[in-house]
Structure formats: C-alpha cells, structure tokens
Amino acid sequence: MIFQDRFKDKVAIVTGAAQGIGKGVAERLAKEGAKVILVDRADIVLQVTEELKTEGFDALAIQADLETFAGFEKVVAETLKAYQKIDILINNVGGTIWAKPFQHYKEDEIIKEINRSLFPTLWGCQSVLQPMIDNKGGVIINVSSIATRSINRVPYAAAKGGVNAITASLAFEQAANNIRVVAIATGGTEAPARIIPRNEKPMSAEEKIWYQEIVDQTRESTLQKKYGQIEDQVNAILFAASDEAKYITGVTIPVSGGDLG
C-alpha cells in the first residue's frame, strides 16, 4: 500500500538501491513524495533512477564504494549540493558473500564479509550525523538480519550483530539531537535473482549444499515456516522511517515470520 505524500519534501538516501530490498525502498519512497538519492556501485542504479525520473519522481543516482569512508562522504556531499539537507538514511548495503561452516573461511573472506556488511553502515551513520544535527533531526534505518543467530555465515552474523549494536548505541547518543536510529532485522526474503551476484564465482557442489542448509534452517526457524516477500521488508522499513514511528528508536525490529534471530 502506498501512502500518498507520507514523505513529502523529505530527502532520503537509500544505499544498495540498484536491486532487491534497496530498490523496492527507493521506489516506494519516491512514490510517497520523497526526494530520493539512490546509491550503489553498480551501473544499474543509473537505469533504476532514470525510470523513476521518467515517471516524474525526484531522484538522483550516485555511484560510490560505501565500504570506504571517502565513498560515503562523496554521497553526503553530492546530496547536500543537490538538496541542502538529509532527512533519512536507509543503510541497506550488505549481504552474505559466502555460505559455509566457519572453519572453511579464509582470512581474506572474513575481512571481505565484514567490509561488506558492517562498514557501509558504520560509515553511513557517521557521515550523516552532522548534516542531520544541523537539520534539527533525522532518521537512520539500518537494515540488519536475523542471521545473527544462524548457520554457515558466522562473519556475516558478526557484521549484523555490529549493526544492531551501532543502532542501540547511536540512538542513545543522538536522541537529544532529535535523531532516531532503528534497525530492521530481515528474515528470509524471496527476491529475483541478483543481476550482479555478491560472489562472482559460481558455487561448488559442496557450497550449494551449505547454502541449502541456510535456506532450510531459515524456514524452520520461522513460526510461519516460509520466506517473506520484498514488500514485507519495504513496508517495515518505510514505517520505521516515517513520522508514524516517531516514538520508536534504539531497537532492532525482526521482520521474519516470528524468528527473533
């Protein structure tokens, strides 16, 4: 359901906006009145943004590597140049690259998982704080995961545990500045095949077995025994970012069919 003008005149940055949940969030924000900055390092973010602009929505594409502080500083600078303020940040970048028992991870793989699923959120939160303070408030939504209690993805779990900790601590620290910080812990979510996969190498036969174990465990851990839809995550993220949730901050909300992670 689209709420007309729920985000009218709000300036919202959405990271990982080229596909999946991020794309869904960016599209809905635009349709509900926001000026949307779609951020991704993939070229397809340009196409997604052009489609929104063709429909008459106010959208800006920025390509950046959000695993670096400089990448996020670029996003903030270009957003302020275009719109002079930042009201909302949706930290959506992240996702499991490998799926296997922890003893099979290599050192560089662990580092890449943390860089992918923790640092973009950390840099994002830090980069938007001063603009939000100058703007007398703002909302940060961190997309987390119930995989903090899962199998075959310990480094990813560690990263998302960090996201939850950032959410709680930053909300405590910034409440006096009228900045809310909320995490949405996504459960298993059905989505179209990624146009650009997180892992460029095809899975081996053994890795396919390990990945299927994640799928089976995720379904079994939910009360509803099924995956959700992208729309389920988008609905929760937009609610948390809206004024309807103005008395909610510092918490991680599971959207996972009853799996608390």
> Per the structure block, which two tokens stand in for 231?
């729309």
- At residue 242's C-alpha, the angle toward residues 72 and 183, to 5°, is 55
pLDDT, one tens digit per residue, over 78-120 is 999 999 999 999 999 999 999 999 999 999 999 999 999 999 9
Alpha-carbon torsion angle 19, 231, 255, 216, nearest 10: -70
> In angstroms, rounded to a whole number, what is the distance separating the alpha carbons of residues 26 and 182?
18
Q: How confident is the model at residue 201 (pLDDT cuts 50, 70, 90)?
A: confident
227 is annotated as an active-site residue: no
> In angstroms, rounded to a whole number, what is the distance separating the alpha carbons of residues 234 and 241?
10
What pLDDT, on a 0 to 100 scale, did the predictor assign at position 12?
98
Percent of the chain clearing pLDDT 70 (strictly above): 97
Percent of the chain clearing pLDDT 90 (strictly above): 92
First to last CA, the chain: 27
pLDDT, one tens digit per residue, over 113-163 is 999 999 999 999 999 999 999 999 999 999 999 999 999 999 999 999 999
Q: Active-site residue among 83, 156, 211, 247? A: 156
Is the pLDDT score of 168 beyond 90? Answer: yes
Is the pLDDT score of 165 beyond 70? Answer: yes
Say which CATH superfamily domain 11-255 falls into. Answer: NAD(P)-binding Rossmann-like Domain (3.40.50.720)
> In angstroms, rounded to a whole number, what is the distance separating the alpha carbons of residues 97 and 159?
12
Q: How confident is the model at residue 194 (pLDDT cuts 50, 70, 90)?
A: low
CA distances from 249 to 22, 126, 172, 232, 252 (A): 21, 17, 8, 20, 9
